[in-house]
Structure 1
Amino acid sequence: MQQRTAKINFNAAGGTASGNATTCKVTIPTKWVKELGLDALHRNVELLFDGNRIILVPAVTGVDFARQKKKLGHSVYRLEYYDREQLCTAIYADFTDEILTVENYVEDPVKRAFGNNRNPSWEDFQLFLQERCLSKDRAGLREYLDTLGLVEYDPWEIIRITEGRMAEDHQWLRIEVYS
């Protein structure tokens, strides 16, 4: 592993930031940037912080994530979350490792699958699926499940059948097996 010492540059933040806000920047060797496959056109990165270190890695698109997982033989699905006919969020879910990545296509967090949460966990995903179904405690649930041809309450199976459509809202899901 190569190592360098650097200084952090602190600057006053602009725009709508508060008066005391600052931005922090670090200069990274160009050689390292090129070795990561980054350039002026492909410059999106993910920053990870574990409490002791900041790690910078190239951002992975949903398609890249799905391809990598499929190569490992994982069960991967792409869920498209719509508001009417507008695609709002694409969710790439790896059911083998129980991890996911999302791509948002709208700025309004109310229309995004996970609101302001840009890095949802598997638990967040499970809660999202439950929110797109009838409540498990709802009266008449047994009849509803019978109508769908299901033996038990399973949000994933319910959504595969109903597309996550709920009365009086316009959001729905399209699910496809990623191949």
Structure 2
Amino acid sequence: MEMKNVYKSLNEQKLYYEQELTRKKNVLKDTKEERKNITIKKIHGELYYYAQCKRAGKVNSQYLGPVIPGTIADIEEKQNKIECLTEEIKELEWNIESLEKMMEYYKKREKKEPVMNNFSFEVYWKDEITARVYVKKKKVIVSRYTENPGKQLFASKEMTRFQLGKIMEMRCWEKGRPDINEILNHLGLSEYNPYEIVRKTHGVSYNDFIWFRFPGEKLTSKDVLVR
């Protein structure tokens, strides 16, 4: 989950930079002026200001006037603004590119991130414990405290993680329902993962009084059951 939070934070930062990039490009466009270099040329012993820019690979010069203090202040101010915006746009583009590389790295890391090897949880029917489940790597061991089929989720004392995953999936919403992404987003999840879902919902259902308690939780049935 920590890695997912980092990825989410990077994505939020990227979206912010993209918004800023669009805004600054629009500001630059609204200046209706191109980037120019101010130069001074000496002609027949007199000094003159010229603005130079490149178009189609050729340098074009625009006469601004004789060199007199302050005469090109407005042009200088506008060109300075263009210069700053251009540099800020370059920096934002670089930041976005860097974030995209970092996000790609975290996506690859997340795919390689191993599932939790060892964990445990308890299963209750109302406030009556019906099972305690121990997951040890690929093996799942169940201590059952009732044989009542209406209260007991587990038919055997041992199973595979795949089988446990299917049982957990039965305590979740259907993966194919139209609003599943909205539900996951509400839970703070980015993907359909039965284990992560039941950690949030405690595996409750309108059809029974079964629920899961995970280590460290000070809960009773009144805190989690929906009916």
> Identical aligned pairs, as a percentage?
29
- 2:139 is matched with which residue? 99
- 2:122 is matched with which residue? 80
Alignment equivalent of 2:201, drawn from 151, 162, 169: 162
2 CA distance for matches of 1:172 and 1:156? Answer: 13
Q: Give the count of matched residue pairs.
A: 101
After the TM superposition, which parts of structure 1 deviate over 3 Å for at least 4 consecutive aligned residues? none
The within-5 A match list for 1:123-138 is 123-138=162-177
Structure ranking higher in helix proportion: 2
Report the AA paired with residue 81 of structure 1. Answer: V
1 CA distance for matches of 2:182 and 2:122? Answer: 28
TM-score (norm 1): 0.52
- 1:147 is matched with which residue? 186
Structure 2 gap ranges (5+)? 1-115, 217-227
Report the AA paired with residue 188 of structure 2. Answer: G
Alignment RMSD, CA only?
Answer: 1.7
Report the AA paired with residue 145 of structure 2. Answer: Y
- 2:56 is matched with which residue? none
The within-5 A match list for 1:9-24 is none
Structure 1 gap ranges (5+)? 1-73
Q: Would you say the 8 A contact 1:100–1:120 is kept in 2? A: yes
Q: What secondary structure does 1:111 align onto? A: coil
TM-score (norm 2): 0.42
Pair member with larger Rg: 2
- 1:21 is matched with which residue? none
Alignment equivalent of 1:108, drawn from 148, 153, 170: 148
2 CA distance for matches of 1:86 and 1:138? Answer: 32
